[in-house]
Chains A and B, each alone.
Chain A
Amino acid sequence: MGFESMADMEKAAAAGKIPLWKAVMEEDMKERSVSMKETMDKMRERYQAMKQADTDYEENLKSFSGLSGGDGANMQRLVREGEAVSGGFMGMVVTRALKMGESNACMKRIVAAPTAGACGVVPAVFLTYEQFYGIPERTMTEGLFMAAGTGQVIARRASISGAQGGCQAEVGTASAMCAAALTSIRGGSNEQILSAGAFAMKSLLGLVCDPLGGLVEIPCIRRNVTGAVSAVACSDMAMAGILTRVPFDEVIDAMGEIGEMMPGGLKETSQAGLAVTETGKRVALDLAKRNQTPQC
């Protein structure tokens, strides 16, 4: 179940004089009756699975629908040529977010974080940060606890499902998890960690889930980029000492409420938004033709 609120997580951390990520880890040890080694090993495996997924990207693969594939490699070429205005670090964050989203669409193995549709956000930032700053894997794994603990609170207070809360609940959650975790890895204070998470969540409030043909491809893959890039910026703001006015828990509650108010057509049903543009309708029609399920 995890913590009921980020405030509760802070209280547990203060009581034990431990960092937030460790409070999350200890809560998991209690809940599942496992040792520190067991949960640490399991989280490291998740991190290694993310790395493996990044390495296993195949440039020439196309998704079943034919809509996605190859763009991560295109982005990487731009970065390698030194032509990315966003620079080497951000360029690689964008590259990795695209790659992971495309691998997911192409039925490769990924780590849902917190969902498959938003699987590119956390690894894009984590792998790039580890690479550029030479951070030990152990520290990155600790950061994953912070990310997962944040996601747990969001799942409990609001939602992490596009069908329930729109894309803000998926990519929005992933971005908030990632911003809080990156700030934790960078040694930010608890207040800074929570501010980073709040910034990232606020930035994506209201984001709808309106994918073409109902597939986790367009616009999902690009939105992983948005979530990842924003997480880095939000962490930087927090590290600069900029703090959130609205506490993270309240932002999470607002997200949940917005999700409930959001029309059903914009919650993974592909009945509105991008899904029903001229192009969206054409994609849906093409897909229906290719659908091999008989008499459907």
Chain B
Amino acid sequence: MNLYDIMGPVMVGPSSSHTAGAVRIGLISRKLLGEQVQKAEILFHGSFLATGTGHGTDRAVIAGLLGMAQDDLRIPKSFELARKQGMEWTFGRAYLKDVHPNSVKLRLTGESGRNLEIVASSPGGGRVEICQMDGLSTTFSGDIPVLIVHNEDSPGHVAAAASLLADAGINIASMRLSRDQRNGSAVMVLECDQEIPEETVRMIENMKGIQKAASLAGMD
């Protein structure tokens, strides 16, 4: 942990895992969706389900989906704000396999009709981990910049994307590749030490065999 993980974060209480982490999961999901959230189905698991309301986990997730960060004083009032924006949401329960007790599954629909399903955990200290995206398992934190590329499950795409990142002077910190056997597509998640320029993302997206590419700025 770095020095400011210990002396921090600055956050709205009461719990770094159940409140700050939940806001962060909402915020990362909102960014991954790439547009305003119209509908959200929020399914809590484990300890999030058992003690979430008392910790404001429900309000925290909604706050994140509205684009708020963990220190936003409007977090306790997120339901009212979401209602004003016309967001619809439901809460429920989920039994998720092999995840941390503090986990949640989000099914989101954006204003243009775009869909995204996320499974994420909040193991403590406000840190989070995105475990699944649209049914494909992954792992990244959102702390440092990340590039997410959906591609055809065929040779050469990882090398091509990595080479474009190298050209832009970007160092890869970690990478994870997973594939969906059903439709022959794969997703690569590359955590990087530097912010990824929009231009590089577009170049990767325009390569043959790439379905879509998106980047997320680091949040630390």
Contacts of A60 in B (CB 8 A): none
- The answer on a CB contact under 8 Å between A149 and B3 is yes
Question: What are 9 contact pairs spanning A and B, CB under 8 A?
Answer: A108-B12, A110-B13, A111-B8, A145-B3, A155-B1, A155-B6, A214-B54, A293-B58, A293-B91
CB contact list, B1-46 vs A, under 8 A: 1-17, 19-20, 44
Contacts of B49 in A (CB 8 A): 293, 296
- The answer on a CB contact under 8 Å between A2 and B10 is no
- The answer on a CB contact under 8 Å between B4 and A46 is yes
- The answer on a CB contact under 8 Å between B93 and A287 is no
Nearest-neighbour CB distance to chain B for A27, whole angstroms, equals 8
Q: How far is the CA of A103 from the CA of B10 in the complex (A)?
A: 13
Segment of A76-84, A87-95, A115-123, A132-140 engaged in the interface with chain B = A115-123
Segment of B68-76, B148-156, B162-170 engaged in the interface with chain A = B68-76
Q: A109-B73, A116-B19, A152-B3 are in contact. Are A49 and B92 (CB under 8 A)?
A: no
Produce 1/0 per residue, A155-177, CB < 8 A to B: 11000110110000000000001
- The answer on a CB contact under 8 Å between A293 and B14 is no
- The answer on a CB contact under 8 Å between A64 and B54 is yes
- The answer on a CB contact under 8 Å between A291 and B14 is no
Nearest-neighbour CB distance to chain A for B136, whole angstroms, equals 27
**Does B115 belong to the interface (CB within 8 Å)?**
no
Contacts of A2 in B (CB 8 A): 1-3
Produce 1/0 per residue, A17-49, CB < 8 A to B: 000000010001001100000010011011001
Q: Which 6 A-B pairs have the closest CB atoms?
A: A104-B13, A214-B51, A151-B6, A148-B7, A216-B14, A291-B53
- The answer on a CB contact under 8 Å between A65 and B1 is no
**Does A229 belong to the interface (CB within 8 Å)?**
no
- One of B17, B19, B50, B126 near A107 (C-beta < 8 A): B19
Interface contact tally, CB-CB below 8 A: 156
- One of B6, B47, B76, B90 near A113 (C-beta < 8 A): B6
Which residue of chain B lies nearest to A63 when distances are taken between CB atoms in the complex?
A: B14
**Does B124 belong to the interface (CB within 8 Å)?**
yes
Q: A46-B10, A160-B125, A295-B92 are in contact. Are A116 and B15 (CB under 8 A)?
A: yes
Q: How many residues of B contact A (CB 8 A)?
A: 42
**Does B55 belong to the interface (CB within 8 Å)?**
yes
- The answer on a CB contact under 8 Å between A117 and B6 is no
- The answer on a CB contact under 8 Å between B6 and A293 is no
Contacts of B67 in A (CB 8 A): none
Q: A213-B54, A215-B14, A296-B93 are in contact. Are A113 and B8 (CB under 8 A)?
A: yes
**Does A198 belong to the interface (CB within 8 Å)?**
no
CB contact list, A246-296 vs B, under 8 A: 270, 287, 290-296
Which residue of chain A lies nearest to B52 when distances are taken between CB atoms in the complex?
A: A293
**Does B64 belong to the interface (CB within 8 Å)?**
no
- The answer on a CB contact under 8 Å between A287 and B53 is yes
- The answer on a CB contact under 8 Å between A32 and B55 is no
**Does A144 belong to the interface (CB within 8 Å)?**
yes
Q: A116-B16, A214-B51, A293-B52 are in contact. Are A107 and B7 (CB under 8 A)?
A: no
- The answer on a CB contact under 8 Å between B92 and A160 is no
Known: A116-B16, A215-B54. 18 other contacts (CB 8 A): A31-B2, A39-B3, A64-B53, A105-B13, A109-B10, A109-B11, A110-B12, A112-B9, A116-B15, A148-B6, A151-B6, A152-B1, A164-B124, A214-B55, A215-B14, A291-B54, A293-B91, A296-B93
Nearest-neighbour CB distance to chain B for A97, whole angstroms, equals 14
Q: How far is the CA of A49 from the CA of B9 in the complex (A)?
A: 10
**Does B56 belong to the interface (CB within 8 Å)?**
yes
Q: How far is the CA of A98 from the CA of B15 in the complex (A)?
A: 16
- The answer on a CB contact under 8 Å between A116 and B13 is yes
Which residue of chain B lies nearest to A292 when distances are taken between CB atoms in the complex?
A: B53
B6, B44, B126: most-surrounded residue (chain A CB, <10 A):
B6
CB contact list, B71-92 vs A, under 8 A: 71, 73, 75-76, 90-92
**Does A147 belong to the interface (CB within 8 Å)?**
yes
Q: How far is the CA of A114 from the CA of B11 in the complex (A)?
A: 12
